[in-house]
Structures are given as structure tokens and as C-alpha cells.
Structure 1
Amino acid sequence: MKIPQFFLGVDGGATKTEAVLVDQNRKIIDQGQAQGSNTAIFGLTESANQVALAVKRALGTKKIKISASYLALAGVNTRDDNKNWQRAIKNHPYLCQVLDNPKIVNDTAAALRSGTTDKNAIVVIAGTGSNCYGRNEKGQEARSGGADHILGDEGSAYDIGSNILHSVVKALDGRGPKTVLVNLLFEKLKIESLDGLHRLVYKKPWNKTDIAQVAPLAEIAAEKNDKIAIGIIKSAADELALMIKAVAQKLNLEKKPYTIVKSGSVFNMPKIGNLLEKEILKFSPYAKFTMPKVSAATAAAYLAQEGI
């Protein structure tokens, strides 16, 4: 009798961490979620704890041996990042018991696999943060963005949220034009003044994830024909387009057919996705767009299986 095999995939970002367990037939056995695990926001110790919690919730009390595991984590951008994660897992009281030599990569790899298996493909992630990764039929890889919120994250929910907050403050103190974003923000946060906003933002203080939560207001305000919001939306779409163009040029894909996977919460705002597609098709007329077909954690589990 053939011994069953089990594969674990983990997708960790700024907002949440998800673990998915599949069998050799790619049937989802179970899954678990925890809070974010981006080390740039939460630090390595807390991020490892959240990965452990998601994995523990996926495995439950099952007495099984994981054949292979694949961890796709935001913030893993360098060899040092990878080494730090490997060390953290070996030193973690739970993860060291359940994960044997896990594959640890940036979250873009699973995001790409979630939408396509095409050899010429690019994924643009626009969630709390932003990143772009691609590969071509020669096996070459390229990246752009992904420098996190101090050096980058253009076009992300954080970027959009930050622009909203700055525009609201300028409108309130007389440095900028009026915008319906003021009322929308006050209503969302249940505040009534600039002082109230200041107290709320700095009391904790807000982090990247908190700022990203206000991003959807840009789409609502743009629907009301608010010029400030329309400008924020266009800027985000333009920045994401620049990332895709940079990767496509590095891989010599501009004039070839290739697939672009749009991944992340920002693409729940249709205006950004529509503007992005129009801009890219001027540059790459044979590009086609798709959305993820499975979760990134499920894709990571598939990659764990495919890596054996």
C-alpha cells in the first residue's frame, strides 16, 4: 500500500498568514490562519510565532509527516533574510518539530503560481505592500519593487492609504483642495476633527497595515468624481504598471505573449485594475491578464509537491 504524502504551503504577508495542507492528489486536508508575518513590520520572533500558529491550526491534532513544505513570505528579499528564517524555524519549539528543511522564498513565487503555470509570466502584488516578479521560457527571473514601505511599496494599499491621509490633512489645514475623502475618512474612523485624527493615528501609533485599511476609500471617492481620489487611483495604477514594465523588459517579454497575474486587495478596486491593463497593453499588446485561481497558500502547497 502506497504511503500517503502531505504537503504544506504557507503564505505570509503584512495582514495575515495562511497555511494549507494538501495530500498527493492536491485535495485540501485543512487550513489555518493567523495574523501577519512580515518581518519588516512585526520582527522575526513574532512573525515566526504567527507562522507557527497558522501551521498548528492547519495540522491540528493530525499525526502525519509532512513530505515537503514551501513558505512564501513577504519580506524575504535577500539571502540573509532566508538564513534568518531558517534559523528562526530551527530554534522555534513547534516549527522545528513539524518542518524539515522547508523551502523559504518571497511571497511573489506563490502568488504567481496561484494564477498561472505559463512559462512567460509576471505577477504584480498590490496588497498591504507591493512587489513584482516574473520568469520567462529560458528560466530567467526578474523582480522590481518589493523594497517595503520606507523605500518603496508604490501602488500598494499602504501607499494609497498614506496618500489619502496626507490629502485629508492638507484639505483640513488649508494646504490642499477640498475632497470628499475627509468625510469618508471621518465616518470610517468615527472621528470629527483633525485633532481626533491626530490622536487616533499617533496613540498606537499606526503601522503600515493600519494605514492600508483606509485605501478602499479612494475608489469610493473616485466614484463620486473626486479629483483628489482620481489622482491617487491613477498614481497607484501608473506605479504598478512601471513595475510590470521593468520586469517585462528585463525578461525581453515586451513584444511576446505573456500572462500577468494581478494579486492583492488593491485589485478589489476595479478602477486601478482597468487603468493598469490599459497602460500595459500600450507597452505589451500581447499580454493577457488573470486573477488568482487558488489561494497563494494553496499554490505554495502545490509548489512544495512540485519541488520533490
Structure 2
Amino acid sequence: MTSQPPGEPGTQAIPTCYRHPDREAHVRCQRCERPICPDCMRDASVGFQCPDCVAEGNRTVRQAQAVFGGRAVTTPRVTWALLAVNILAYFVQSVSDQVLRDFAMYPAAVAYGGEWWRLITGAFLHSPLGSGGFALTHILFNMWALYAIGPELERRLGSTRFLALYLLSALGGSVAVYLLSAGFVVGASGAIYGLFGALFVVGRRLGYDVRGVIWLVGINVVITFAVPGISWQGHLGGLVTGAVISAVLVHAPARSRSAVQWAGCAAALLVLVAAVLLLPPFAFNDAAQIPDVFGYRG
């Protein structure tokens, strides 16, 4: 019997993929040197790596972060989503008046009907067409403001923190309406004014010239009190809430940033909820004083 010299065909077994034993593998992972088939090959800086090594490497790579925490934002998806929800809600309410009846912010319905959802849903509705005054301008201005300043704030704060800022500002505006107003109110203005306050706080924290923001807020405050039919309560509540929340987000210490930020947001939420549960609406003392809006009297 004669043996074949080393190196001749048939003297060595063809390696197979460690993940697919039935497939030939003529390439080895540059990191662990296990054989991999074409389906398991992942491009690396040099050669290819196997899926397991790629996953392990991703776990050790530090994710890019926004300036004040959270993942870095390249596309402001939360801003676009909020724009879409507001616009969609406007089309829905234009088709059915019942949407306003059931979801507008109406202090009496919250105080005497337990309809707590109105504190948030009212912030996604706007003055309906045909209601006179600045009906169409209402949603156009709010959506323009969200489009103009939302992406910048989302990139600075991170998407999740930006969403928390928006929703808490909207809630802060509604709580102020609940405590200080008797009529029904709709609009994202409380949230938008919260973004105005945040833009000022973030700008100061980063050392920017914020005089333009001061002028922007000042002009809108004048409009709020000069034009009849605008809820100054919602604007004021949103502005104060947005400024407070953003101050917590941007001044949280780096070492325990996330914990402090979310604890601050949770504390603000508890304060707003407690204000509704414990404080009476100051605009009326009992159901008999409630304006007859949509035929609702508690």
C-alpha cells in the first residue's frame, strides 16, 4: 500500500462552517479563526468576521450619545411623529365634532366627570375650521414652531428625553388650564411654549446667545394677552413646566445623569398629578358655575 504525499488533493478534509456544518467554508473569521460560510461572513476592517464575534464587538462599543444623554439622534423621529399625530388629529376632528366633545381639555369634565385623559388629548387638538378667529392659524403656527425648534432640541436632549419634555409641558399647560380656566381649551400651545422655555435653558447651558429666544417668547406672550380667545393659562403652564424640566435635563451631573434626569421628570409628573387631585379649580366653586359648553354640566 502506498500513501499520498502531503499536499496532494484528497489528503486534507475540507473545513465546514461552524454554524452550518453541511456547508463548505474556505474563509476563517479574522477574530476567532473559526471557518465560516458565505452566509456567515461579516465585513470587517480586515477580512471577515463571524456573527458571534461581530455581536460581541458591538456590545463593547460605546454608543454615541446626545449632548445631554440618551442615544445620538441623526433623524428626529419623535418630532416627525408628533407632527404627524397632531395633523392626523386635526383631520379627524374636522370630520367629527364628537372628537372635540370627548377629548378637548375641559376643566369641568376633569373635575366632575373624572375624564382625566383630557389633560393630554386636548393638547393634540386645535381650533376647528369655521370656529372663527385664528382657527387655521392655530395649528399652522404650532406645527411650524414644532418643525422649527423640535429637531434641534431632540438632537441635544435625545429622543426619549425630548418626548418626556413635550408631554410634560403639554400636561403642565393643561393643569394650569384646569386650575385657572373654566372654558374648554384645545391646542399644542402648552407643549410648544414648553419647547420655547427649553430652548432658552439649553441655549444658556451651551453658552449660546439667547436674546433671540427671549424676543421670541416675549412676542408670543404679548400676542397671548393681546388677542382674545387665547389661553394664557395653558401658555404659562407649558412655559414654566418646560423650563423646569429642561433645567433638570441639562444640569444633571454627568456621573448619575440618567438617574437624576428621570427622577426629576417623575417628580414633576407627580406634582402635576397631585395638583389636579388635591387642588380645586379656582375658576368655579361648584357645578352650577360651570359654563354650558357642549351641554356638559358635570
Is TM more than 0.5 here? no
Q: What is the TM-score with the length of structure 1 in the denominator?
A: 0.28
> Higher helix proportion, which one?
2
- Higher fraction of strand: 1
Normalised by the size of structure 2, how large is the TM-score? 0.28
